[in-house]
Structure 1
Amino acid sequence: MANLSLAEAVKLKSILSKRIHELEEEMDRVAFVELEKGSALPIQSRTLTHVEQEIEEVRKDFRLLDKLMYQANVEHEVVFQENSLTIVEAIELATQLRAKARKYKELGMAAKEEFPYSYGPESTSIIKLARFEPEDYRLKAIEAERQANRLSNAINAKNYSIELAFDADKYF
């Protein structure tokens, strides 16, 4: 049995998920037939039973691949900012860094001072004043995004070095 890198497994999982959806659609197509009453049933190249058997095989492979991927993500580590993190922790940290960068970008685009439309009397002036420096948050956003990219690159590199015992020949 050939091995599969964790990076390839991520792609294969997507392929298997798509295949399951295709087979579910095929089940719908072969399960029913419209014909004139009294007419002979048309010959089908695949029966509902055949499709059911195939979808069960793909689902079984999907579960095995998912299990192997989860195990690898817990058992293997990447180093980031002099800390060793399991891959699952690193994935979550990268997600959090991207969320942080997104929020910091919003704050970085804010005006230091603005005059919003007022519903009050004409004589009242309302100003919206930022209690922070937008430029500081723009720079923080750039750094958070840079860190997220570095961590994602480390995860990807690690994913190519991890081999899973899974035979993907029938899918690739």
Structure 2
Amino acid sequence: MNKITQAEAVKLKSVLAKRIHELEEEMDRVAFVQVEAGKKMPTQKRTVQDVEKDIEAVRTDYRLLDTLMYRANIDYTIMFENKELPIVEAIELATQLRAKARKYKEFAAAEQEEYLYSYESIQLMKIATFDPEEYRVKSMECERQANRLSNLINSKNYQIELDFEADKYF
């Protein structure tokens, strides 16, 4: 059995998804033909059944690859901030760190005090209950952590090998 790295598997998964989509489009094209009434139907190089068989083969490979990747993401770990994390948890943590950084950037862009509008003799203001500069610094730190974690995940993905026949796709 051939082996591919987890990093190659990530790319291959998108190749397989694209291939399934292309085969579904081909299935739509070969499923119907327009023929003048009473005329002989033209012969096709590939039938709906041929395409359907190809789709099922690619879908089977996709499911196998998906299973292998999920298993690797659970079984393999990385060290991050003195903690050993399964890759699946590290991926989620990186996603959460990026979301936190986005929210912190919103707060960092806020004004400390902002006049909203006047109503009769009342002047309304919007006042931040936090320091926007602190959130700017926090957003940069979250992004730095997310980038570092993503790099560790990518590096590990090049070390992990999966038993998968990728020759027909690569």
TM-score, normalised via structure 2 length: 0.99
2:99 corresponds in structure 1 to 99
1:2 CA drift (Å) = 1.5
Are 1:53 and 2:53 an aligned pair?
yes
Partner of residue 155 from structure 2, selected from 154, 157, 168 = 157
Once residues 116 and 41 of structure 1 are traced to their aligned partners in structure 2, the CA distance between those partners, rounded to angstroms, is: 72
Amino acid in structure 2 at the alignment position of 1:31:
A
1:7 corresponds in structure 2 to 7
2:77 corresponds in structure 1 to 77
1:138 corresponds in structure 2 to 136
1:141 CA drift (Å) = 0.1
What is the DSSP-based 3-state SS (H/G/I as helix, E as strand, rest coil) of the residue aligned with 1:45?
coil
2:30 corresponds in structure 1 to 30
Are 1:113 and 2:113 an aligned pair?
yes
1:35 CA drift (Å) = 1.2
Amino acid in structure 2 at the alignment position of 1:29:
R
Q: Which runs of 5+ in 2 are unaligned?
A: none
TM-score, normalised via structure 1 length: 0.97
What is the DSSP-based 3-state SS (H/G/I as helix, E as strand, rest coil) of the residue aligned with 1:128?
strand
Once residues 106 and 160 of structure 2 are traced to their aligned partners in structure 1, the CA distance between those partners, rounded to angstroms, is: 37
What is the DSSP-based 3-state SS (H/G/I as helix, E as strand, rest coil) of the residue aligned with 2:63?
helix
Identity of counterpart residues, as a percentage? 64
Stretches of 4+ aligned residues off by more than 3 angstroms: none
For residues 69-110 of structure 1, the C-alpha deviation after alignment (integer angstroms, 9 at most, x for no partner) is 000000000000010000000000000000000000000000
1:161 CA drift (Å) = 0.1
Q: Which runs of 5+ in 1 are unaligned?
A: none
For residues 56-77 of structure 1, the C-alpha deviation after alignment (integer angstroms, 9 at most, x for no partner) is 0000000000000000000000
CA RMSD of aligned residues (A): 0.7
1:117 CA drift (Å) = 2.9
CA contact (8 A) 2:117 2:125 kept: no
CA contact (8 A) 2:114 2:125 kept: yes
For residues 102-128 of structure 1, the C-alpha deviation after alignment (integer angstroms, 9 at most, x for no partner) is 00000000000000134x32x111110
Amino acid in structure 2 at the alignment position of 1:142:
M
What is the DSSP-based 3-state SS (H/G/I as helix, E as strand, rest coil) of the residue aligned with 1:34?
coil
Partner of residue 125 from structure 1, selected from 123, 126, 136 = 123
CA contact (8 A) 2:117 2:123 kept: no
1:22 CA drift (Å) = 0.6
What is the DSSP-based 3-state SS (H/G/I as helix, E as strand, rest coil) of the residue aligned with 1:16?
helix
